[in-house]
Amino acid sequence: MFDCKILRMEKFVDVKVRVDRTCSPQQMLDALGYEQLIGGHVVLDEMPRGEGEEVDIHLFSPGRDIANDDDREIEYARRGLKSADPYSLLAIVKANPDFLVWGGCNHIVTYYKDGGSRLCHVLVFKRITGERTVDVEIYERGWSRTCWFAGIRNGAG
């Protein structure tokens, strides 16, 4: 169901991942086997499925704290990226669960706009205790320097 290959690694990682887009958003979350924290105002059925059976994802860490959504958008724009669809991010983590333990990475995030134009974030997180969670929520705070973001090249997908 999931297949992942790391193509290049520096201060970022380019990953090619096979994505099963036939599942419902809930089935994708369940497939991880992680604790799920779903924000009260999030409608999972509005989570975009994305396109393509195989997708090139660019994971990056800005190396600094991100104070707000504008700062995050600047980091994506600097790299010529837009946010990766949640299905692609979940497929990467499912195919390579150890992704959350290398390089100081303790969470990877992407985002999308729901039907009400609210920003919803999909966050895969490894706690200090080793417990792993996947959060889907409307998140309006900043991001720490240990956060990695998932994007795809503008014009792709």
Q: What is the pTM of this model?
A: 0.85
The rounded percent of the chain whose pLDDT value lies above 90 is 34
Which DSSP helix (H) or strand (E) runs through 69?
Answer: helix 69-78
pLDDT tens digits for range 111-156: 888 887 878 888 887 766 778 888 888 877 788 877 889 999 987 6
CA-CA-CA-CA torsion sign (102, 104, 105, 106):
positive
**Residue 104 token pair:** 């100081």
- Domain definitions of the chain by residue range: 3-153
